[in-house]
Amino acid sequence: MTTKTDFHAIKELRERYTPACPSLVSADEAELIREVLEVSDRSNIELQNIRDVTVIMYGRWADSQ
């Protein structure tokens, strides 16, 4: 069971994670992503939902810059 909404998890990730290299994710970065998004606690449908919300939110953030 997750402890935060998809919106809050993604917002927290954006605040805590800035990639060191835009095209690669280090092991430490991957662990942070797994922790913040609570990946191991999510069912398949919950993983699909957070993926979809992430695409929408990051798309909007990119468009606003």
Dihedral sign for Cα atoms in the order 34, 38, 41, 47? negative
Within 10 angstroms of residue 42's Cβ, the number of other Cβ atoms is: 17
- Whole-prediction pTM: 0.86
| pLDDT (average), residues 8-16 | 97
- Per-residue confidence (pLDDT) for residue 1, from 0 to 100: 86
- Per-residue confidence (pLDDT) for residue 55, from 0 to 100: 96
Residue 48 structure tokens: 């699909």
- Per-residue confidence (pLDDT) for residue 31, from 0 to 100: 98
Identity of the residue numbered 25: V
Q: Report CA-CA distances (Å) from 49 to 14, 20, 22, 37, 56.
A: 17, 26, 24, 12, 11
Average pLDDT, the chain: 95
